[in-house]
A = this chain, B = another copy of it.
Amino acid sequence: MKQYSQMNKDELNALKNELDGAFVKYKEAGRSLNMTRGVPSDDQLALCNDMLTCLNANDYKAANGADCRNYGGLDGLPEVKKIFADLLELTADEVIVGGNSSLALMFDNVSVNVSHGVRDGKPWATQGKIKFLCPSPGYDRHFTICNYFHIDMIPIAMGEDGPDMDEIEKMVAADPLIKGIWCVPKYSNPTGIVYSDETIRRFAKLKPAASDFRIYWDNAYAIHDLGETKKILNIIRLCEEAGNPNMVYVFSSFSKVSFAGASMTCMASSKSNCEYIKQRLTAQTIGPDKLNHLRHARFFKDAASVIAHMEKHAQILRPKFKLVSDMLNSKLGGLGIGAWTEPKGGYFVSFDSLDGLAKRIVALCAGAGVALTPAGATYPNGQDPKDSNIRIAPTFPPLAELEAAMEIFCSAVKLASVEKYLA
């Protein structure tokens, strides 16, 4: 396999003609393939269909006697608090179980810290132009929350073991306007890397200049292993030990465990933080949908069953991730025109093209009927400084569609790269 950088102009032109021809055919095929978001497939959703019917006119009460049809309860049914607590290795009073959107828990948490401040803190809004550190590439909807609240975002480079901790330690110690950092510690969105023990320990031991600095630890893929179960260190316990008991908010979700749009989600933190948050919840809501909590309790029973259930998801997802990996390796391997990750879990594969080509590749794919996450979306303000990162979301399409989409994607990478070398 000859690297593109070694090809002469004739070779490149020949390749370009060939690829242009391929794209004519792709367009003629009139495909409409969607790889934009990390969405579970129909097969995965069907795994929980029994949840649709697991309650009935004789079963709507929680173990504590609560009628789940009626009002009452703010922080989740005890049954599901226990499931989350067991999965996250926490106690029930460190856990608040909410509705179907962990994004909503994060948004609300930032919102209240802006308007009211963290427990015993001053409102962030009154402290000047505050900033969040944003390990990048990262999750676009975290960045959208910062944008909404006019919070400046500082990109932090991501490595194999997590974000650049030297940089983070230095910055939070120096600048009291840095109030937060977004983290997806396990199967990070989109790179799929897992924070190392060393990284997590360093997070817990941060010495921020701002006493109201908070880590937003979005453990969205806590149990979403494709193969062997991987455990990451318990950030809440480590923060406690390091004398930073209130520094971290953990978020977790069943969106990719049960039904993506109708699941339950969780926020975990120190008991003191949880108490403070519950004061707000009293003013904010009548509480989460307890019937949906009860459905989850009935269907999943306990944390061990949840883990067993995740293996069923993995069986569906493994061939998809393997297909993506196989095609990237066979079509692009050795060409020197891209690098990609081979994650052991989560929902994404991250692809880095030659500099300056991500937008072009996404546009080529769009023209051929393959929708990808917009280039740049994985960076704060949609600005990928190298214009090279593309998030591939292989979970939703059936295998045959995924194969068609990946063929077009690989051709788009080739064509954009040829164009670059010819320019």
List the interface of chain A (C-beta within 8 A of B).
37, 39-40, 42, 45-46, 48-50, 52-53, 55-57, 60, 67-73, 99-101, 103-104, 107-108, 111, 114-115, 125, 141, 144-145, 147-149, 255, 259-262, 280, 282-292
Which B residues touch A68, using CB under 8 A? 261-262
Q: Does B114 contact A71, Cβ atoms closer than 8 Å? A: no
With A57-B52, A291-B261 as contacts: A285 and B107 at CB distance below 8 Å: yes
User: Contact check: which of B100, B108, B149 meets A289 at CB < 8 Å?
Assistant: B100
Given contacts A52-B57, A99-B289, A145-B283, 9 further A-B contacts (CB under 8 A): A39-B70, A42-B67, A53-B56, A53-B57, A69-B260, A71-B255, A100-B288, A144-B283, A261-B286
In the complex, the count of this chain's copies comes to 2
- A405 to B46 Cα, complex, angstroms: 50
- A114 to B125 Cα, complex, angstroms: 11
What's the least CB distance linking A303 to chain B, in Å?
23
- A284 to B112 Cα, complex, angstroms: 13
What's the least CB distance linking A342 to chain B, in Å?
25
- A33 to B241 Cα, complex, angstroms: 47
Chain B residue nearest to A284 in the complex (CB): B107
Chain B residue nearest to A283 in the complex (CB): B148
Q: Does A259 contact B291, Cβ atoms closer than 8 Å? A: yes
Which B residues touch A287, using CB under 8 A? 101, 261
What's the least CB distance linking A300 to chain B, in Å?
16
Chain B residue nearest to A114 in the complex (CB): B115
Which B residues touch A125, using CB under 8 A? 115, 125
Which B residues touch A255, using CB under 8 A? 71, 286
- A124 to B212 Cα, complex, angstroms: 24
Q: Does B286 contact A69, Cβ atoms closer than 8 Å? A: no
A and B contact pairs by CB, cutoff 8 A, 15 listed: A39-B71, A53-B56, A69-B260, A70-B260, A71-B255, A99-B100, A99-B289, A101-B287, A104-B286, A108-B284, A115-B125, A125-B125, A148-B283, A261-B289, A261-B290
